[in-house]
Amino acid sequence: MPETDEWERLVFEFVKQWVDGSEYFEFKTSGSTGTPNVLTFSRVALVASANSTLTFFQLKPRMVALLCLPMMYVAAKMMVVRALVGGLNLLAVKPSSLVEIPNDIKIDFAAMVPLQVATLLNQKSSGFENISTLIIGGASVDDDLHTKLQKVSTTCWETYGMTETLTHVAVRDIKNQSLNNAFKALPSIKFDADERGCLIIHAPNIQTKPLVTNDMVKLLNDCEFEWLGRADWVINSGGIKVSPEQVEKNLANHISVPFAITSLPDVKLGECVVLVLEGGNKLNSSELVKKTNLLSYHVPRKQISIEQLPLLENGKLDRLELRKMVIQLTNTK
């Protein structure tokens, strides 16, 4: 198909691999916590993951599923698998931050990253309301996006998952205010926690062994948990463990420019909390503290401005590179 665009060609290639009967499929990890790896899964595992999603969201044959994610990632490939396994009609559009949703087609199920959702909501006429059920993954749903989603008719779910679990193994109903902040397991999935308080995933249909993660959680039962942050990025400040993700969440409604929380070595504390602002911006730290409910050991001890926050290919913050940049900037002053 010489006139086919690259993104379409990748969709067709994966479909061909599936219908040709391939028994094993390769997926590349995001690299958000280290070097990207290539993982191999069996066809049986892909079918099990797809059926879990089809069952939970009650997706039936001939329903319309929207594919608007890049095929290089597991989320896009699994959307294709769900369509093939469940007999869904797959509507594929070019991956973009501004998804082009046809106004004349009702979409039963779609998957997007937060950036795509936020971009669509900022458009006056985007076709967003044509989507019945939307799952949002790849990054956390911040407070601002959460608030905006309360005003739409679409049923919205935040997902928890990774390449190692063939996308989501748990979901959280964004619009149901009567629920706690917990993620709920999909069918056949169970949870546990290790001595660090990090999540252990039991997904026997996908992984032969329990998957030990570096995600710190508050385990409510074997089917529900609240996500607290990554153990990889925990800041040990004066013996107190600080999650940068939790600090960022508390600051999100009070900082209008792109920002992130990281750390620097500190003689007294071991590590100190650092606020990094994009684009040379500066904030009044004392005023910021007054406006927030930050605990004393969550308050940034230093503030640094950089031209642009480092991002990974999938748009996630590259926390490893950010810390390297901050340390280098500090050492050169």
pLDDT in tens, 32-90: 655 678 999 999 999 999 999 999 999 999 999 999 999 998 999 999 999 999 999 99
**Mind listing the pLDDT tens digit for each residue in 274-308?**
999 998 777 877 777 777 878 888 889 999 999 99
- Three-point CA angle 9, 10, 16, nearest 5°: 90
What's the average model confidence in pLDDT over 162-177? 92
Domain residue limits, the chain: 6-186, 234-332
Query: What's the fold here for domain 6-186?
Result: Rossmann fold (3.40.50)
- Pick the more confident residue, 332 or 53: 53
The percent of residues above 90 in pLDDT, for the chain, comes to 65
- Helix axis angle for 74-86 and 6-19, nearest 10°, is 50
Helices (H) and strands (E) in the chain, counts: 8, 18
At residue 260, the pLDDT reads 94
At residue 213, the pLDDT reads 95
Q: Rounded to a whole number, what is the largest CA-CA distance in the chain?
A: 64
Which residues, at least 6 apart from 128, have a Cβ–Cβ distance to it below 8 Å? 101, 120, 121, 152, 154
CATH number of the 234-332 domain: 3.30.300.30
**Mind listing the pLDDT tens digit for each residue in 213-224?**
999 999 999 999
Distance set, CA 226 to CA 10, 186, 198, 259, 294 (Å): 36, 15, 11, 24, 19
What's the average model confidence in pLDDT over 173-182? 77
Give the pTM: 0.84
At residue 10, the pLDDT reads 94
| Total residue length of the chain | 333
At residue 87, the pLDDT reads 98
**Mind listing the pLDDT tens digit for each residue in 2-32?**
677 999 999 999 999 999 999 999 998 876 6
What is the rounded CA–CA span in Å between residue 272 and residue 237? Answer: 5
Query: SS3 string of 173-209?
Result: ECCCCCCCCCEEECCCCEEEECCCCEEEEECCCCCCC
